[in-house]
Structure 1
């Protein structure tokens, strides 16, 4: 299984913000606690271990809740052992989170979890006196159904339509029987196709809500590696978060702290990912998930008649903590309050908004985790690799935008040189002499000389484009073979991992897929991985 790597910045698909973080630019260092290196985990373990939030009693609540959530799941011995080990003071977690996308959604769902599993293995090897548990945090309280109700399969969008509202984890799986019929037809026949169908059926047809279905599917894929899946939409877990929610409701801490951080980022010329509200909690109950606001000395739930005064609200929070749901600003804090967590692994967009939140963690007295960019990868078959080599297409070429990719290939395979940069440079040198001559004779001619220079350079560039276009027509068949291959690996001219569902690769590689990905992906490498299977 040959692998290659290229820097994230060189791909052209990752923001300067996240690349600057990976480069550990000094301007960003105040935004995080420690950069994720194997050596830095020693201090993170010590700091988190001393936090009162990882007390024995709180650990017991976490372990008990997880055991209950796995009550109807056929979990591996390693997963059950991991859940039990969370009671111990020397056990810590590495966490990733993801929405409840239908059938995992884009391929990078796998990369997030594999990064998490592999990092726990590395840490156990480096710090054998501690235990490290890989956690998948399900975004069961999310309410953006349109983002998660489909997955792409060979250029087709397989979608689940439902008019349910509220937290998606509560959604009844009714209607997914029809989706299964579509899935079964699309996957076709054969051993690997039958396995995919079984996974879909066991998850979505055999469970009543989307959270349980997603837990089942993730467990089927990664249970043997000890993955622990948590649904934090739980009364007892939210009970552990009451002090932080109370502070948010009454003091509006996140709005003040994150707004200040955002201003700092904007002064650095960086684009912020999320903006805080005055209160960063939703009210969630019976299909409702709406914002809590403070208006006219009253706490209200938008679009409803629900309201409280301060005393009533705090009593309600104490009695029904499960009805209070953190938004994107508060969810990371909730995670770090209930888990003995050392590191969060996420995509580029997630990393950016986490970097906005450290000041809120400090105001709430919660240890800020290390932040690790998940592995990113491009998977190609041996046949595709052979075609790339035959067509003289490098890995770096594949990441070019389509027009640049085509132009580069035309120039490379053309029997004439269609690069006029040398001629243009020569022309500029000639005009430098003309400028000197005009300067010495009559300065009024400088404008005319400049206009002539612009005209001639423009003419050369136009001629270059025309010749390039003519060569594209002449080399049409070869260019089509190149672009067809790029489209296979970059569907819709986007990264494979952001578009393709794992089922396409599983049909190709079967049970070898996940083990081979686990071998190839190195979480602390901080480079884009290219894998040939």
Structure 2
């Protein structure tokens, strides 16, 4: 195994928002609190310990014990749940949708990031405990985003009727998916493990939340991972004051809208708030709560409430109130003694909209950490890269740019016109000085001629390059094939492939190698050669 770290900027796959955040640019500093470094965590510990009471800790621990009652879990996880009762214990959290069989590879990278960060902080701050947490997005209702995973270039799909919170979905019908997936896997020892993991998760548990908890627990319980289901009555009781505030005053809409007005001057906005950022959750539906003409209405239903009625419903049935993307982060921070949220670029972007909202409701805003990203390179692919003289950084170039670069390097004729263009521009610079001395109106004509000549050279260069690509068609085909294998659909493989492909090849050592390689606070992209 060989590990190489390169800057996120070198991959070309990360947004301006994230790159500016990693560089702590002045334009983005107002939108986050402490930065993910050791001094930032020291500050965050002080802030959080003064805002999270002992009673909340016991409610959290008891709720988690209840959630784990039908599953076997490790001593490490058990001890971490108990530690949550102690005032010197804090969590490091990531979250994800309930994708079928974990979905894309970065499911693993998120969880290993929080595990490794918890271990690193335990070394830096031995007087405190740090618990890695995986937050299951059980209340999501975007079934089309989670009902499949990719295996060996094919989509393994679960077809069923949509409706309601996905965590409550019955696992009925996944027997057919299991049969299809099993046929793809073969009969090796590693394949048998994957089949057993899928079957024990989806064929033995009755709903998607329990099945996902089982699978995540099987993969990571030995590291003390604690898995949280927010669709829990006791946990939602802790959130009642903030839901009441939202229903009565629409605080999130007001504060996030104010933040967006400033954030959008420099960055793309990830999500926009609604006037009420809550859903009403039933057994088979999750619909927005809308306030119109003094009445609270549940969208696409006949359910309505007066103000007194909805506040009474909140008190008696808090589990029916489900936060949307704007309020879910607050819910997490209210019920967990959390220091840091670890997520992808899209998640970080919407968290950056929330700092003023957190300040208004007096909840500490967590540290935001861009999760580890990984590109796995097999020995076979590395040999091909070496043979084609493509470096690890070059591998991430836009395909057109990569082909042009390698064709130029491999050509025995001069294909780079940059020097010729510079020479031409120098000649026209002299002409412009002469024009200024004779007739200023003549300068415009000189500039127009310069643009025409430079454009002509650029077009000649493109035509020559196209001709050379045709002449070197074998090299071009080999580069295209290799890059497409490494970066499927010209995207990072972590967004395309499922962990089962690598488990089938490397077994349990795949997860072990990831854990040994990922360094969350280095804030760099990881290339793992296996």
Q: TM-score, normalised by structure 1?
A: 0.97
What is the rounded CA distance, in whole Å, between the counterparts of 1:437 and 1:84 in structure 2?
A: 83
Secondary structure at the aligned position of 1:74 is classed as coil
Aligned pair partner of 1:149 in 137, 147, 150: 147
Aligned pair partner of 1:220 in 218, 221, 224: 218
Aligned pair partner of 2:61 in 60, 63, 74: 63
Secondary structure at the aligned position of 1:304 is classed as coil
The match for 2:313 is: 316
Are the counterparts in 2 of residues 140 and 169 from structure 1 also a CA contact under 8 Å? yes
Q: CA deviation at 1:183?
A: 0.6
Q: CA deviation at 1:157?
A: 1.3
Residue-by-residue CA offset, 1:25-51 (whole Å, 9 max, x unaligned): 223222222111123222222221111
Secondary structure at the aligned position of 1:26 is classed as coil
Distance 1:34 1:439, change over 3 A: closer
Secondary structure at the aligned position of 1:27 is classed as coil
Distance 1:504 1:427, change over 3 A: same
What is the rounded CA distance, in whole Å, between the counterparts of 1:96 and 1:426 in structure 2?
A: 54
Secondary structure at the aligned position of 1:137 is classed as strand
Please state if 1:211 is matched with 2:209.
yes
Are the counterparts in 2 of residues 5 and 528 from structure 1 also a CA contact under 8 Å? yes
Please state if 1:508 is matched with 2:473.
no
Are the counterparts in 2 of residues 9 and 16 from structure 1 also a CA contact under 8 Å? no
What is the rounded CA distance, in whole Å, between the counterparts of 1:449 and 1:124 in structure 2?
A: 67
Alignment of 1:69-468 (within 5 A): 69-267=67-265, 269-440=266-437, 446=443, 448-468=445-465
Aligned pair partner of 1:522 in 515, 519, 522: 519
Are the counterparts in 2 of residues 5 and 529 from structure 1 also a CA contact under 8 Å? yes
What is the rounded CA distance, in whole Å, between the counterparts of 1:446 and 1:524 in structure 2?
A: 55
Residue-by-residue CA offset, 1:220-276 (whole Å, 9 max, x unaligned): 111111111111101111011101110111011101111100001123x21111111
Distance 1:318 1:456, change over 3 A: same
Are the counterparts in 2 of residues 96 and 345 from structure 1 also a CA contact under 8 Å? yes
Q: TM-score, normalised by structure 2?
A: 0.97
What is the rounded CA distance, in whole Å, between the counterparts of 1:250 and 1:294 in structure 2?
A: 10
Distance 1:458 1:43, change over 3 A: closer
The gaps in structure 2 that reach 5 residues or longer are none
Secondary structure at the aligned position of 2:131 is classed as strand
Q: CA deviation at 1:394?
A: 0.7
Distance 1:128 1:436, change over 3 A: closer
What is the rounded CA distance, in whole Å, between the counterparts of 1:170 and 1:442 in structure 2?
A: 79
The gaps in structure 1 that reach 5 residues or longer are none
Are the counterparts in 2 of residues 252 and 278 from structure 1 also a CA contact under 8 Å? yes
Residue-by-residue CA offset, 1:127-178 (whole Å, 9 max, x unaligned): 1121111000000000111111111112211111111301111111122111
